[in-house]
């Protein structure tokens, strides 16, 4: 009887060992199939995103954050600063400006501010506003106190430093064709009509390139004017 018990135990052990070997083979085969599936999915994902400007992959995610920061700088800091300058202009003017003329003048102030901050990326070279930037603004009667200009400069410096640390080629693009219709890389400023021709750039496009893949992470902000297509000229 004892011999039979030992024999049955040995058979059971061999069956367990065989079962474990089969399970190990199944796990190994499943892992291999999962690896092939992941490789296929990655290849499909690469094909799906190649040369697309609207589907950022993981390597471009940092630029989404940069674009968001840049948009907030323009909307929440530069535009209010331009509005403050415009308010001082109106207070000092002997003759009232029409709303159309005031809107256009304020847009030009925004344009000058973004150019001194991003056209030559000057904030990357200095902690404080450069003499050249201040001179450029004053040439256009844009006078900002240090407590108004320095926060703009500091935030632009932070954004530019992030672009310089990224592994892609980054560009702040101010180029436009005056009198042309809006293209897919541009957007009209809030007070403007999108159907009117482009007059001038208020804020640059943020463009990121790697190899032959280019993405516009933030469109140009442009001022449009109906008078360029025969409409009423601003008074």
Whole-angstrom Cα distance, residue 4 to residue 68? 77
User: pLDDT grade, residue 232 (50/70/90)?
Assistant: low
- Select from 140, 109, 145 the least CA-distant residue to 129: 145
Measured in degrees and rounded to the nearest 5, phi and psi for residue 133 equal -65, -45
Mean pLDDT of 81-104: 91
**Does 151 have pLDDT greater than 90?**
yes
- Beta-carbon neighbour count of residue 123 at 10 Å? 24
Whole-angstrom Cα distance, residue 32 to residue 212? 33
pLDDT of residue 167: 82
Q: What number of residues does the chain have?
A: 235
> Do residues 224 and 194 touch, judged by C-beta distance below 8 A?
yes
- Beta-carbon neighbour count of residue 86 at 10 Å? 20
| pLDDT tens-digit map of 21-61 | 766 666 566 556 655 555 544 443 443 334 444 445 566 78
Phi-psi region at 230: left, alpha or beta (left = phi > 0; alpha = psi -120 to 50): left
Q: String of b and e for 187-218 (b: at least 16 CB within 10 Å)? A: bbbeebeeebbbbebbbbbbbbeeeebebbbb
% of the chain surpassing 70 pLDDT: 73
- Select from 162, 176, 180 the least CA-distant residue to 205: 176
pLDDT of residue 82: 97
pLDDT of residue 5: 44
| pLDDT tens-digit map of 126-146 | 999 999 999 999 999 999 999
Mean pLDDT of 63-74: 96
**Does 102 have pLDDT greater than 70?**
yes
């Amino acid at each position: 009887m004892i011999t039979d018990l030992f024999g049955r135990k040995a058979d059971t052990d061999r069956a367990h060992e065989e079962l474990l070997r089969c399970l190990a083979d199944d796990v190994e085969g499943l892992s291999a199939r999962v690896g092939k599936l992941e490789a296929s999915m990655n290849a499909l994902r690469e094909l799906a995103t190649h040369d697309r400007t609207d589907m950022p992959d993981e390597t471009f995610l940092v630029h989404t954050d940069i674009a968001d920061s840049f948009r907030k700088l323009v909307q929440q800091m530069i535009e209010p600063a331009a509005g403050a300058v415009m308010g001082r202009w109106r207070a000092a003017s002997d003759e009232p400006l029409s709303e159309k003329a005031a809107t256009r003048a304020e847009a030009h102030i925004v344009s000058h501010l973004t150019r001194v901050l991003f056209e030559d990326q000057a904030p990357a070279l200095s902690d404080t506003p450069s003499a050249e930037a201040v001179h450029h603004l004053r040439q256009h009667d844009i006078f900002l106190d240090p407590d108004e200009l320095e926060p703009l400069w500091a935030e632009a410096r932070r954004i530019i430093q992030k672009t310089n640390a990224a592994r892609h080629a980054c560009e702040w693009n101010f180029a436009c064709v005056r009198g042309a219709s809006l293209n897919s890389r541009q957007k009209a400023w809030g007070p403007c009509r999108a159907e009117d021709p482009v007059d001038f750039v208020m804020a640059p496009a943020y463009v990121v390139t790697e190899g032959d893949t280019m993405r516009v992470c933030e469109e140009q902000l442009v001022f449009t004017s109906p008078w360029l297509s025969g409409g009423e000229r601003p008074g």
